[in-house]
Structure 1
Amino acid sequence: MKVSLDQAALGEIERRLAAHDAHLDQAYPGDDGSRQPVHTVYVPAHRYTAGLAQDWGAQAWAAVEAQGTEALLDAVGVRADLRDAVAAQVERKLATEPVEDLRIDLEDGYGTHPDAAEDEVTAAAAAALRAELDAGRATPFVGIRFKCFERPTRARALRTLDVFVSTLAASGDLPAGLVLTLPKVTAVAQVEAMVAVCERLEDANGLPAGRLRFEVQVETPQSILDAAGTVTVARMIHAGGGRVSGLHYGTYDYSASLGISAAYQSMEHPAADLAKEVMQLAAAGTGVRLSDGSTNVLPVGDGAQVRAAWANHGRLVRRSLERGFYQGWDLHPAQLPSRFAATYAFYREGLDPAAERLSNYVHQVEGAVLDEPATATALAWFLKRGLDCGALGADEIVARAGLQPAELTAMVTRPLGG
């Protein structure tokens, strides 16, 4: 066999690309394979008490009982052959884990109050969360949204963040699923400032370096495109130094800031889709998770209004899932049934085809579709997400794909350059 590149030539190429290899390893480490919640529930801080999630679950189930399970399944459009399974899963979910990610809101949902009052509410929220943690009843993911780092609210934001983290840390270990939410970000400098704040809070409270991470809410035009014409949100991720855990789209603040009238502000507006596509591009390969926004059309009122709102919410949840946004915001207990019904139906519909394709790929069986490694990773992610949220069982995946959960995790944790 004739070759023209000797070891010296190959070594030169390695040297040329070494810096880029190191950049890929640092900037695009891939996902860690951990669980991502399917939703975030926002609750005003002054209304948060220990046991709130269970109360939301009871209210959600009461809404289902008032309308009937069949009405929920009809509204969300669950396939006939999946209805029994989805109905049972929704009932079980609302009884055992109705809220996956709880955000104690000290921003828009709380409003502006005297400093002493906000200090008191923040400390009370930390104490209530500690009570839930000690009782083993806290949601898997939980945290606060404080005010933004714009000049008028910056000092208050920092004070609230300090009170919450310091109070919680003083009473015990921080929850594993702690999430801090930085809203209305307009500049990379604000992300850099948040990194500095996290470092100081860790040092002051004896926390390990890197323990505090935060999500960035994409709610302003400046978070997508800056004055120089660069994609701000991509720079924000990398300015976070590994502390940015997620990008959350804010439907109404973002839409309003573009001048879109209230009647047309929606998760599916073309402007929303553009922003979310940019977020998706910016986060790809970084391990930063994405969340879609919310709908403010709530399942309240008479039966027809509730069912219509369920149909709208279920359709939007499905739309987000199909577009690669596996998390969204929920604002009312009666949105939980449509969230879980639509989510479970999505994964159960895709179970058999995804498992067959992945099994064929892993076991090198020729089938009707020739999948590449990247698609196999996407198939593994589909099954793992379905498993994590309770839509799919490990036994089902083993029976259909011949893969254990640990094998799925191994398939989805490959870095971009791996």
Structure 2
Amino acid sequence: MSEHGTAATSLASTVSEGIGAALAPVDAELARRFPGDPGTRQPVHTVYVPGDAVTEDTVREWGEAALALLDQHAPDAASLAAVLGLGDELAGPVHDRVRAKLEREPVEDLRIDFEDGYGPRPDAEEDAAAAHAARLVAAACGTEGAPPYMGIRMKCMEAAVRDRGIRTLDIFLTGLMEAGGLPEGLVLTLPKVTYPEQVTALVRLCEEFEKARGLDNGRIGFEIQIETTQSILGPDGRATVAPMIEAAEGRATSLHYGTFDYSASCGVSAAYQAMDHPAADHAKAVMQVAAAGTGVRLSDGSTNVLPVGSQAKVHDAWRLHHGLVRRSLARAYYQGWDMHPGHLPTRYAAVYAFYREGFERAAARLAAYAGQAGGDVMDEPATAKALSNYLLRGLDCGALTGAEVARHSGMTRADLDTLTGRPGGAR
């Protein structure tokens, strides 16, 4: 008889205890390597602005320029829906939310660029630009309309620009500390990574800065840009994304796909370099599997087709961008890059339509799952978690309201946080 009840068993308790002891290191390794999603808000995009071009008015100017384009080329819900192929039920809510977003928070994640978008400059000039960037970020944090995430992209760890990149990072972080400390929404980006050792080098830099300024160990995290073939497949034929995540020692926050550098490194001609090229899909599939469960998030790249010129050209560029963003969302790439203010209307239109068109169905499935009420789909806990994450992402970006979600699912945001394992308060 089992000590737990009347069911008969044959194995002594020492067998289970022995297996538990043998697997304890594996349990610890799983917890370390695969902690799951961090449960915080993920921005829907990243806007890159060169370090010499960014000002305290940049975000406002992007929002105003995006609104002007929207008013000129799709001034009402019907015209935007006609351009993008939105259904009648989505047209009004999407158009209204896009306008409100561009007025309230046009940029969710601002990256001040000291790499390709900035280029080589005299040291004194880049020193001054890095210090200026720190002052701008420090002054903007917490102000109305400011991006919740801001930071810089430094130069890479290759020998020719390594010292310059390190110095720029040091000046920027030091400037933030002198202005009051590192903001919660700080994001740093390491480009053109080819070997895990380059990631390790940035980890050491972060550690040294934390020691020098009395910060907690691990306070500084960073993104890894995947834009070289070596970051997908090493010279020995092994996939290299996972070793790069491991080399970050828990500091990697996301992987960003670099559309044009990666395409060029694969030999793709300029006319065919795009987010939906087969070479891009392969790289992003490798990234996705490597990052799954690690808490490291994914960002797609960008299109360089800008919505400028005649109305016909603007509409064509909008349709292209909207379709690419929708494609990324369907493939679980919930973030991407935007290169021009004209990309903002279609970024938010695609994101809002994606969440609004499916939220009633997702909410109903969650309600059935929570109430064990059956229905035409029988969901498992993993699917319920995915449905909850879908609704939470819609809430985070402004596509949905808490009242809408509660009305259709019977759940509060706190209930959704519990289902996904979020700590709550992810805003």
Give the one of 177, 193, 202 matched to 2:210.
202
Pairing 1:314–2:329 present: no
Partner of 1:50: 56
TM-superposed CA distance for 1:79, in Å, is 1.5
TM-superposed CA distance for 1:134, in Å, is 6.8
Over 6 Å off, 4+ runs: none
TM-superposed CA distance for 1:229, in Å, is 2.0
8 Å Cα contact 1:78-1:342 kept in structure 2? no
Q: Note the 1:91-102 alignment, pairs <5 A.
A: 91-102=99-110
Structure 2 letter corresponding to 1:7: S
Using the aligned pairs only, state the percent identity: 54
Partner of 1:150: 158
Partner of 2:3: none
Give the one of 33, 38, 42 matched to 2:44.
38
Partner of 2:69: 63
Pairing 1:297–2:294 present: no
- Separation of aligned partners in 1, 2:18 and 2:155: 51
- Separation of aligned partners in 1, 2:383 and 2:138: 42
Pairing 1:380–2:388 present: yes
2:160 counterpart SS class = helix
- Separation of aligned partners in 2, 1:158 and 1:331: 25
1:151 counterpart SS class = coil
8 Å Cα contact 2:105-2:145 kept in structure 1? no
Deviations 1:88-133 (A, max 9, x none): 1001000000000000001011111111111111111111222223
- Separation of aligned partners in 2, 1:29 and 1:228: 29
Give the one of 2, 14, 18 matched to 2:20.
14
Partner of 2:267: 259
8 Å Cα contact 1:30-1:414 kept in structure 2? no
Structure 2 letter corresponding to 1:52: T
Q: Please, what TM-score do these two structures have when normalized by structure 1? A: 0.97
CA RMSD of aligned residues (A): 1.3
Gaps of 5+ in 2: 1-6
Partner of 1:164: 172
- Separation of aligned partners in 1, 2:52 and 2:325: 28
Pairing 1:118–2:126 present: yes
Deviates more, 1:1-10 or 1:57-66: 1-10
Partner of 2:29: 23
- Separation of aligned partners in 2, 1:42 and 1:411: 34
Deviates more, 1:4-13 or 1:334-343: 4-13
- Separation of aligned partners in 2, 1:72 and 1:414: 35
1:305 counterpart SS class = helix
8 Å Cα contact 2:39-2:422 kept in structure 1? no
- Closer, same or farther: CA 409–43 of 1 in aligned 2, 3 Å: same
1:279 counterpart SS class = helix
Q: Does 1 or 2 have the higher relative contact order (CA < 8 Å, sep 6+)?
A: 1
TM-superposed CA distance for 1:363, in Å, is 1.3
Q: Please, what TM-score do these two structures have when normalized by structure 2? A: 0.95
- Separation of aligned partners in 1, 2:319 and 2:213: 47
Structure 1 letter corresponding to 2:48: Y
TM-superposed CA distance for 1:330, in Å, is 0.2
Structure 2 letter corresponding to 1:182: L
8 Å Cα contact 1:71-1:307 kept in structure 2? no
Partner of 1:105: 113
8 Å Cα contact 2:137-2:151 kept in structure 1? no
- Closer, same or farther: CA 43–414 of 1 in aligned 2, 3 Å: closer
